[in-house]
Structure 1
Amino acid sequence: MGTYDTLLLAFDMDKRVDEAESLWNMILHVHTRSISKQLFSRMISLYDHHDMQEKVIEVFADMEELRVRPDENTVKKIARAFQKLGQEDKQKLVLRRYLSKWKYIHFNGERVRVKRYDSDED
């Protein structure tokens, strides 16, 4: 899987999205149940980098189907894709479902847990 990740990154850097998509489809069909969160995130980042919002949503749908929970950066990219497609209701749903209520910040040299601001509360 690490080799696939490196290869997808190389395709992204070379702007060879078609080849990356072919490799992704092969990975998805051959290794269906063993695709890591990192590999999903790499593909979402690739599509986000090339402004392909529909493809971001497709990869996210596969991710949900396989019950792989996205990390925080990936959630933000997925939400941005929904926003660019004009689907603010789905954007809010994704943010509410996958972003935790808490985040960690560093304050005076210590790691502190603080509640994440939610615009719907006020």
Structure 2
Amino acid sequence: MAPRFPIERCCCNPERARIQLACDDDRRLACAMRQLGVVARTDPQQAAAFLQPLFSPFAADMLLQACRSLGLVDVWISCAARYCAARPTRDERRNFFGYIRWHVDDAEYALLTERHAAEWHRLRAGRATETK
């Protein structure tokens, strides 16, 4: 199981968090991406599990930029598709795609839309079987 980034803490450093010192978002993102790099090197199969929860506290384009530098764009695309598919409304999903379109090339966008469609159907199929 991939280590989790301590999103709920004001700082990812336990000693700073213990005395309630906060980090700004840029420092928290840097810590998260440093830890993602370690996970990707030591246990690449867990990179997506580590990255997925980071879509809530951090902007998708910032995560993409960091993942580009780590060579993890494919992992980002899978996680972004899952994150977007889980958005409860069509408007939220459209806004996500409209926002992220400026940050990806055509091939990445095509892959993102393909994975998003598959993930959206997977999530909705799970809900349909739960109600029966």
Q: TM-score, normalised by structure 1?
A: 0.49
Q: Which has the higher contact order (CA 8 A, sep 6+)?
A: 2
More strand by share: 1
TM-score norm. by structure 2 comes to 0.47
